[in-house]
Structure 1
Amino acid sequence: MRPIDIARKLKLSTSALRNYEAQGLVPPVERSAGGYRLYTAEHVAYFTCIQAMSPGFGMEVTAEVVRNVQARQLDAALWRVNEVQALLQRDKQLAESNMRMFCELDGKQTQAESGEAWLTIKEASRKTGLPSSTIRHWEKTGLITTTRDPQNGYRLFNRSHIRKIMLLQALRAQVYSPTVVELKNAIAHMREDDVLEARKIATDSLQYLHRVNCWQMRGIHALYDLCRLVKLVE
């Protein structure tokens, strides 16, 4: 098949096809006497798989999987896919937990109303189950803004900070997308005592994870078709 025909079929640019080829994501391509690329049905299956998998799995994982398929390492490819799906399941459970937590809160509940003490970063890490390095990274990138102890300069976290961390945690494993960026920005700019906004973000995050689940299903379907074509599965 001609590159332009494949590009039109998959709604990709021919430069994208060449880029995938240059990265070794498809098998070597033979050339005609005139120097034109001669793509086969196998190449089309690889391109289709890459296009289908990348929205739900990201290009890094997709590239790893298709390279494993080329090396005929089926188990490695399938377990890598399974690993990403397990992370999505974990994020879904976190998002559902956030939903329940915010639904149980009445309107706006401030730090003063709760009477909860300030937490150090070590305590915040223990409470959320996240490494301190991850929390520091989110602070460095502006997703959370902590308070500093006036006496020793240590980071201090209140209930609002913990809520933001938990909302971010439910998106931690998700690949870059405009929606993920939008959700993280909403978390970063969420008012400290606005439980209703936190509830909305938790709802939107869960809905996004549902969509990712569908994208991953489409990617797995294309991966199966590819593996069947190259006779890795029956």
Structure 2
Amino acid sequence: MKEVSKRTWGFYMTDHLYLRTRDLALAGHISVQQVRNYEASGLIPKAQRSPSGYRLYTQQHLVALKTVKSMVPGYGWQWTAAIIQALHRGELSTAFATIDTRHAELASKRLQIEQTLAALHTLAAQPAPLPGTYHPQRFRVGEAAKQVGVRVSALHFWEQQGLLQPLREQNSHYRLYDEQQMRRLHIVVLLRDAGYDSKVILSVLDELAAGRPEKAIAAVEARSEELTRTSWVCIEAMAFFQRYVSEFWAQHIFVRGSTL
């Protein structure tokens, strides 16, 4: 291995391009134990060992560590681990497919949020009906579930959580969903599909019921901005990933039969 300065990368090294565990930890701003954990979980390659048994890390380990740290904020630990572990197994297609899947997931969430926002704007623009001017249709639970494409058990669960408050038939006590409850049901389905938990959905429903749709819209717009930041972090992380692959794994990549 090529000899380098003892001050390369800003910390002491041996006469060869080897880093001690504590040097790698210092450069990556993590603990020594975390370095060992990263190696054990396949987030950085296995280190060579000195004759005395000490781990010998290299520039590749440092770039791998920086790549992982750049990816976690956008991809999360689970996605990052799947991508990097596949790379370290030499399975480039699997790593790229996993990246594509994560990006597709973000795109799907963005579409859901846009649809939710559009729905909320539409709901906010609708004037409240005047009492006594119409006779709304009422659905039993099975019919209501069919209208929104979910199971009856979902409506029962949302009722338990306070998201729905169906009426009851006077004699049979069957649940009945009038226009107001069907409107709530449509909003619940939209927001559940967009990934919101029950507390957030209940807050949105309360704001809409109180005639304050602006707060509900603002909550969804904040989620949209958060998703945009996540996408940007993923783009930045891909610069680190591209460098890592190009420097240390390019021999595994082939384009039209030629190595990159």
TM over 0.5: yes
CA distance in 1, matches of 2:42, 2:152: 34
C-alpha distance 90-231 of structure 1, shift in aligned 2 (>3 A)? same
Aligned to 1:165: 189
Aligned to 1:210: 228
Aligned to 1:66: 84
C-alpha distance 26-108 of structure 1, shift in aligned 2 (>3 A)? same
C-alpha distance 30-184 of structure 1, shift in aligned 2 (>3 A)? farther
**Among residues 13, 18, 40, which one is paired with 1:22 in the alignment?**
40
Q: Does the 8 Å contact 2:42/2:88 carry over to 1? A: no
The count of aligned residue pairs is: 221
Shift of 1:201: 1.3
Which shifted more, 191-200 or 64-73? 191-200
CA distance in 1, matches of 2:147, 2:60: 49
Matched, 1:187 2:205: no
Please tell me the root mean square deviation across aligned C-alpha atoms, in Å. 3.7
Aligned to 2:8: none
C-alpha distance 29-105 of structure 1, shift in aligned 2 (>3 A)? same
Q: Does the 8 Å contact 2:43/2:81 carry over to 1? A: yes
Shift of 1:155: 9.6
Q: Per-residue CA shift, 1:171-227, capped at 9, x if unaligned?
A: 37xxxxxxxxxx874334331514222201110111011011011112222221221
CA distance in 2, matches of 1:120, 1:111: 23
TM-score, normalised to structure 2, is 0.68
Q: Does the 8 Å contact 1:121/1:155 carry over to 2? A: no
CA distance in 2, matches of 1:18, 1:140: 48
CA distance in 1, matches of 2:92, 2:191: 35
Which shifted more, 112-121 or 213-222? 112-121
Matched, 1:84 2:102: yes
Give runs of aligned pairs for residues 142-161 of structure 1, distance below 5 A: 145-147=163-165, 150=168, 151-152=173-174, 158-161=182-185
Q: 5+ residue gaps in structure 1?
A: 173-182
Aligned to 1:3: 21
Q: 5+ residue gaps in structure 2?
A: 1-18, 254-259
- Identity over aligned pairs, percent: 19
Shift of 1:42: 1.5
Q: Does the 8 Å contact 2:120/2:213 carry over to 1? A: yes
Whose relative contact order is higher, 1 or 2, with alpha carbons under 8 Å and at least 6 apart?
Answer: 1
Q: Does the 8 Å contact 2:86/2:92 carry over to 1? A: yes
